[in-house]
Amino acid sequence: QVQLVESGGGLVQAGGSLRLSCVASGRTFSSYHMGWFRQAPGKEREFVARISWSGSSTYYEVSVKGRFTISRDNAKNTVYLQMNSLKPEDTAVYYCGASRSYFGASSKEYNYWGQGTQVTVSS
pLDDT digits (tens, 9 = 90+) for 63-105: 999 999 999 999 999 999 999 999 999 999 999 999 999 999 9
SS3 44: coil
SS3 64: helix
8 A C-beta contact, residue 22 and residue 35: no
Residue type, 48: V
pLDDT-derived band of residue 27, with 50, 70 and 90 as boundaries?
Answer: confident
What is the distance between the alpha carbons of residues 96 and 3, in angstroms, rounded to a whole number?
A: 10
Averaged pLDDT, 26-44: 94
Where residue 101 falls (left for φ over 0; alpha for ψ -120 to 50; beta otherwise) is alpha
Averaged pLDDT, 43-48: 97
8 A C-beta contact, residue 48 and residue 92: no
